[in-house]
A and B are shown apart, each in its own frame.
Chain A
């Protein structure tokens, strides 16, 4: 279970402070799938970063009673000057996994071949997405934090992601930021609509989507 209560996040913008999240409460249990809806800049990514512990809230609490992945998006989590293999070794070390055990899965899932021996900064964003996904799947988490942009890869990648996340790991929790209402309708069982710093969880997906469409 992850429980957030009263999360506030603001950034300084010149002399003023811009409040991105003004007190968000949410709770997600094992196996639940939460979709985050909101316009560009509404704070979906910020919320995911807070839940992932990448950035810290100005106020409020986050309790994590299950293992939570790092946020999967295009950026972050890699050292560009290191090779794909070195990044994999590093991640295996800090999460206490045996590198040999995850190496095959990473080679197989990413299909990057010899590119894995090249520095990550030479990768396209799609290639980075493959690596990030493969690593977080290899480590195995109870809850995955995913920015939908990462799933916009080629057909083959989309099919693999679908298979690994929604079929093989159907029992895991998921927090997914997305602009695609169809996507959320298909995969999520609750939605959080973020607008002007306010956010509330809707158990009824269709209601959330209707509100989102009217923004």
Chain B
């Protein structure tokens, strides 16, 4: 038990140090520094939101269109950038393996945390500003909102633990990953509620774990203005076995990893 406690203390210390290191390498200490981490998702969500606002009017299916785009886009961009940054993250950081307390999984966790924190900050920022402008509702139920975020984050982390080791094993992945994440957009649940779709399309998208997470988040924000479709067990039941496979792949890659 004492060993477990000590191990936990070391890992939290290491992850903190790695997060600081990641933020300084990526954003430096100049001007707004680490706040850049939320700048990119923020710009994305606000500009696309405004575009849709002027194209389609203030509301769609009875909910504010800016709020709808922001709630959909931010988790999706978190997923895309985490997966993108997971690729090649082991070889890019192999020199960290000089320090035994840094574990291979820390490299994925750190990049994931940075993306997640950045995108959640952007979410909070947009929600606050547009709430003040009366374009974003007060969340109906924070429980559903947070649980949906956690499920989306779990799915993101799961895919990152698969993509990171595979990218070390095959170079093809790097070429096909951008188009794959693009093709995944319809299965991310970002731009629709399942209820709005034709029955067979609806059944198809509900095979995708992030759709459940997204529906849950949207219900947390919009409440009864939307009619959500989700299962509490589907996303974790899908992610946990895949995560196990990912962890085994990471372990395998660590065993054969060559460090200069």
Contacts and interface: CB of A to CB of B under 8 A. Distances in A.
Given A54-B259, A93-B17, A94-B102, A78 B95 contact: yes
Contacts of B98: 52, 54, 70-71, 76-77
A90 B97 contact: no
A19 interface: no
Chain B interface extent, by class: 20 to 34
B150 interface: no
Contact of B20 (A55, A58, A68, A90): A90
Interface string B16-28: 1110110011000
Given A53-B100, A56-B254, A77 B95 contact: yes
A164 interface: no
Contact of B25 (A55, A56, A75, A81): A81
B258 A77 contact: no
A153 B18 CA distance: 31
Q: How would you classify the secondary structure of chain B's contact residues: helix, strand, loop or mixed?
A: helix
A43 to B, nearest CB: 14
B99 A56 contact: no
Contacts of A81: 25
Interface string A142-182: 00000000000000000000000000000000000000000
Contact of A76 (B13, B14, B21, B260): B260
Nearest to A80: B95
Contacts of A76: 95, 98, 259-260
A14 interface: no
A11 B95 contact: no
Contacts of A54: 97-98, 259
Contacts of B231: none
Nearest to A70: B98
Nearest to B29: A86
A213 interface: no
Contacts of B13: 93-94, 96
A55 B100 contact: no
Given A78-B95, A93-B13, A52 B100 contact: yes
Contacts of B18: 94
Q: How would you classify the secondary structure of chain A's contact residues: helix, strand, loop or mixed?
A: loop
Contacts of B101: 94-95
A49 B259 contact: yes
B25 A93 contact: no
Interface in A60-91: 68, 70-71, 75-79, 81-82, 86, 89-91
Contacts of B257: 55-56
B61 interface: no
A95 B98 CA distance: 12
B162 to A, nearest CB: 21
A52 B100 CA distance: 7
B5 interface: no
Contacts of B102: 94
B142 to A, nearest CB: 34
Nearest to A67: B100
Interface string A4-37: 0000000100000000000000000000000000
Interface of A: 11, 49, 52-56, 58, 68, 70-71, 75-79, 81-82, 86, 89-91, 93-96
19 contacts: A52-B100, A53-B100, A54-B98, A54-B259, A56-B254, A56-B255, A58-B255, A75-B260, A77-B99, A79-B25, A90-B17, A90-B21, A91-B99, A93-B17, A94-B14, A94-B17, A94-B18, A94-B99, A94-B102
Closest A-B pairs by Cβ, 7 of them: A93-B17, A77-B98, A53-B100, A70-B98, A94-B17, A76-B98, A54-B259
Given A79-B95, A93-B16, 12 more contacts: A53-B97, A54-B259, A55-B97, A70-B99, A75-B95, A78-B95, A82-B21, A86-B21, A89-B20, A94-B17, A94-B101, A95-B101
